[in-house]
Amino acid sequence: MKHKTFRGGVHPKGYKELSLGSPIEDFLPSGDLVFPVNQHIGKPAKPIVKKGDAVLAGQLIAEADGFVSANIVSSCSGTVKAIEERHTISGGRATCIVIANDGLFNAAPGIGIDREASAFSGPQILDAIKWAGIVGLGGAGFPTHVKLAPRNPEQIDYVIANGSECEPYITCDDQLMRTQSNGIVEGMRLVLRLFPNARGVIAIEDNKPEAIEAMAHACEGDANLSVLPVMAKYPEGGERSLIGVVTGRQLRFGQLPADLGCVVCNVSTLNAIYRAVCKTEPLIGRLFTVSGDAVSNPHTLFVRIGTSCSELLKAAGGIKPGSEARKILCGGPMMGIAMSTLDAPVAKNNNALTVLASDEVELAEQQMTACLRCGRCGHVCPIGLVPQMMAEAAERQDYERYEKKLYGLDCIACGSCTYICPAKRPLMQLFKQTKAAIMAAKRK
Ligand code: SF4
Ligand code: SF4
């Protein structure tokens, strides 16, 4: 049966089988844990510990500073070693709280206590989410307690759980849905209590039959919940694509999903909400995939936030004998960020480390030619943009045309155009730079 999908998109090879074979391992790091204070969209959190303080796992170490901000909790027990600038996974540097891990993972008092979901009112659910420091775990990093408090909650008629996971190599959401479907569904029910007129739809790509079955089983008997298999196609998991597929509504640049009556949460975020409310667990860890053709033993681990990527690569057996790490990405090959060092910590919104034996961008640069005017980039753009013309305007730095005539700021940097381009033009990279230049000029 052909499932629903969006216009455009591409079909990159998935390589999901690499990391799906092994059971999920609970990885306990041995090195220092490093917590950037800016692991979310919004104002960085404010450290509330100082060098020399003893901390426990689950203890608040930096508190949300302002409305759009998020708490940060320690994922280990130990001693605060430093508060200093360190590399982050995105290539920048940020203030980080460094904790010398004592290897005991002793929990703070009150963590892990079972609680009844029905005992929580709507505002108490939001408070628990804020307390736990939950942000969008699908990559966005937007503070969840803010996302779930739109101006008109009664106008929300869809809560969409994003279980698409369309990026090649990454399988942590698939594994979560297979193994913790009840937690995701309970998280969805908690969110639905905030939106009295909404129904819940769990959208899963149809190349994940085990996840679809597990989630459908967990939803059984609840008329307000359904599982919607969607066609496996990249970027099916993009917020705009998913809202379009589930509701038929089209999100434009500058609009929020709530403007169209929708709230979209990643399945990992929903599970974190369940654990915060019903298990008194702040966000100390998440499922994380270490994969790629250069990795010895690709698999998915439960990873403590703040763990160094170098430890995680070692946990996956390191680099395969005879292979070479030519490209290291935080995330997958389509939307991931190239990393210059493995000495960077996993943040809340990071879901994968992908290590590849070849650098496709480097190869493409060697093979790049002038635009062939084939139009393929326009056919695959999920937003309906014309990347070929956007590239011409961007190269001429004609930002007026780029923004006003070609709607270039609507680009979601999915990379579908770059993937399909026979002339190997680095379109997405150019669009990201152009958007950054336009936004910087606007801020001035
Ligand atoms: S990167 Fe931007 S322009 Fe290219 S296909 Fe994706 S949304 Fe369209
Ligand atoms: S896909 Fe590449 S070669 Fe074809 S029109 Fe677009 S930019 Fe030009």
What mean pLDDT value characterizes the chain? 93
- Environment class of residue 11 by beta-carbon count within 10 Å: exposed (0-12), middle (13-18) or buried (19+)? middle
**Ligand 2 binding pocket includes 233 (Cβ within 6 Å):** no
Q: Which ligand is nearest to the Cα of residue 382, counting in written order?
A: 1
**Each residue of 299-321: pLDDT tens digit?**
999 999 999 999 999 999 999 99
Distance 430 CA to ligand 1 centre (A): 11
User: What is the atom index within ligand 1 of the atom nearest the CA of 427?
Assistant: 4
pLDDT at position 170 over 90: yes
DSSP state for residue 296 in the 8-state scheme: S
Average pLDDT of span 365-370: 78
**Ligand 1 binding pocket includes 381 (Cβ within 6 Å):** yes
**Ligand 2 binding pocket includes 368 (Cβ within 6 Å):** no
Q: Which of 62-71, 136-145, 335-344 has the highest mean pLDDT?
A: 62-71
Q: If you take atom 4 of ligand 1, which residue's CA is the nearest one?
A: 417
**In this predicted structure, what is the pLDDT of residue 209?**
96
Q: If you take atom 2 of ligand 1, which residue's CA is the nearest one?
A: 411
- Written as one string, the DSSP assignment of 123-156 is HHHHHHHHHHT-B-TTTT--BHHHHT--S-GGG-
Q: Provide the pLDDT confidence category of residue 364 given band limits of 50, 70 and 90.
A: low
Q: 335, 333, 341: which is closest to 357 by C-alpha?
A: 333
| pLDDT > 90 in the chain, percent | 82
- pTM score: 0.93
**Phi–psi pair at 361, nearest 5 degrees:** -65, -45
Q: If you take atom 8 of ligand 1, which residue's CA is the nearest one?
A: 381
pLDDT at position 361 over 80: no
Average pLDDT of span 251-261: 88
**H or E element that contains 328:** strand 327-330
Residue with the bigger pLDDT between 238 and 132: it is: 132
Q: Provide the pLDDT confidence category of residue 340 given band limits of 50, 70 and 90.
A: confident
**Each residue of 257-286: pLDDT tens digit?**
999 999 999 999 999 999 999 999 999 999
**Ligand 1 binding pocket includes 413 (Cβ within 6 Å):** yes
pLDDT at position 3 over 90: no
pLDDT at position 405 over 70: yes
**In this predicted structure, what is the pLDDT of residue 4?**
86
**In this predicted structure, what is the pLDDT of residue 138?**
85
What tokens were used for 304? 């403590």
- CB contact at 8 A, 244 and 264: no
- CB contact at 8 A, 178 and 204: no
**Each residue of 82-127: pLDDT tens digit?**
999 998 887 788 999 999 999 999 999 999 999 999 999 999 999 9
**In this predicted structure, what is the pLDDT of residue 21?**
80
Mutating to test ligand 2, I would choose from 10, 369, 371, 385 the residue with most ligand atoms within 8 A of its C-beta, which is: 371
**In this predicted structure, what is the pLDDT of residue 216?**
97
Average pLDDT of span 146-159: 96
**Ligand 1 binding pocket includes 408 (Cβ within 6 Å):** no
d(CA 428, CA 258): 27
- Environment class of residue 225 by beta-carbon count within 10 Å: exposed (0-12), middle (13-18) or buried (19+)? buried
**In this predicted structure, what is the pLDDT of residue 237?**
84
**Ligand 1 binding pocket includes 412 (Cβ within 6 Å):** yes
Distance 422 CA to ligand 2 centre (A): 7
- Written as one string, the DSSP assignment of 64-125 is --SSS---EE-SS-EEEEEEEEEE-TTSSEEEEEEEEE-S--PBPTTTT----GGG--HHHH
pLDDT at position 359 over 80: no
**Ligand 2 binding pocket includes 149 (Cβ within 6 Å):** no
Q: What angle do CA 101, 40, 63 make, to 5 degrees?
A: 60
Average pLDDT of span 353-375: 82
**In this predicted structure, what is the pLDDT of residue 134?**
97
Average pLDDT of span 221-227: 95
- Residue written as token pair 């008997």: 221
**In this predicted structure, what is the pLDDT of residue 140?**
77
pLDDT at position 56 over 80: yes
C-alpha 333 chain-centroid distance:
14
